[in-house]
Amino acid sequence: MRLDRATTHPGEKNMNRYEGRRALVTGGGSGIGQATVLRVLAEGGKVVAADVSESGLKDTHAKAEAHAERLTTVVMDVADEASVRAGVAFALSALGGLDVLVNAAGILRSSHTHATSLADFTRVVTVNLTGTFLVIREAVPALLEGDSPAVVNFSSTSAMFAHPYMAAYAASKGGIQSMTHALAAEYSKQGIRFTAVQPGSVSSGMTDGSGESGRSHGPGLPEDTDWSLFAKLSPALGEGFAGPETVAGVVAMLASEDGRFVTGTEIRVDGGTHF
């Protein structure tokens, strides 16, 4: 039984969870971000998909043809403060407010740590961690006025488990996870829920290098990679990696009313890779 076998969304029995809800999804031009955009649209939501890749956003729009009237796209570089300010402002204007924020934008670059340049390390942390912070900072005022507001951030199994050659990525995702807990506490009495997902063993543009987004670089493992170090990174369920829609379903639950009592925590979505 394959985890990515379904061509329809598993949440179809409750397709109105997002009716009347407004969502901004970063990294919406490929991979899990794109899958999340399509899932929220399928459940009735109004979405702004943001991505650094214009071609990726065009692909998302084409795939969302049945719900195109509820989808708006915006080119936004989460690593650039001015771009985030402009992009979030555009999204708020297009949506008329904000109820849900999903921070899926990120990059993955791999190398021997002793051969990693400061520029490469800083770039990964800037896009993944600082980018998540910048979007949240700009969106919080609108979320405070939103309906059952929720933020879903993207951590990774690498934040808690050893993923060799990915020190910068692991550091950025660990930071996102810690920041999610801090934000959940800070805004708990004001009604904003903050959660994180930890994808692992999921096939996407980021993990297989096929993503169109300029922010979704493949892992690029070193030529002399010791593959025995990856022995513990195989999923116990299914036949190989799951598709990005698997994670999108969990994100949709967390940001919906079904997740109304979940905050300040993370959910691992890895098919039992890390029992």
Domains and CATH numbers, the chain: 17-269 (3.40.50.720)
Q: Letter for the amino acid at 243?
A: G
Kindly report the average pLDDT of the chain as a whole number: 89
Q: Which residue has the higher pLDDT, 273 or 176?
A: 176
Beta bridge partners of 209: none
pLDDT tens digits, one per residue of 181-236: 999 999 999 999 999 999 987 876 555 554 434 344 456 889 999 988 877 677 87
Phi and psi torsions of 263, nearest 5°: -160, 155
Q: Report pLDDT for 117.
A: 96
Residue 248 and residue 207 in contact, taking contact as beta carbons nearer than 8 Å = no
Return the SS3 of 195: strand
Active site annotation includes 187: no
Q: Work out whether strand 71-75 and strand 22-26 pair parallel, antiparallel, or are unpaired.
A: unpaired
Residue 244 and residue 204 in contact, taking contact as beta carbons nearer than 8 Å = yes
Say what the pTM is.
0.89
Residues 103, 106, 111: CA angle, nearest 5 degrees: 155
Question: Which has the minimum average pLDDT: 42-56, 125-139, 240-254?
Answer: 240-254
Tokens describing residue 138 = 């700009």
Q: Work out whether strand 22-26 and strand 100-103 pair parallel, antiparallel, or are unpaired.
A: parallel
Gap between the Cα atoms of 59 and 56, Å rounded: 5
Q: Report pLDDT for 239.
A: 61
Identify the active-site residue in 18, 165, 169, 187.
Answer: 169
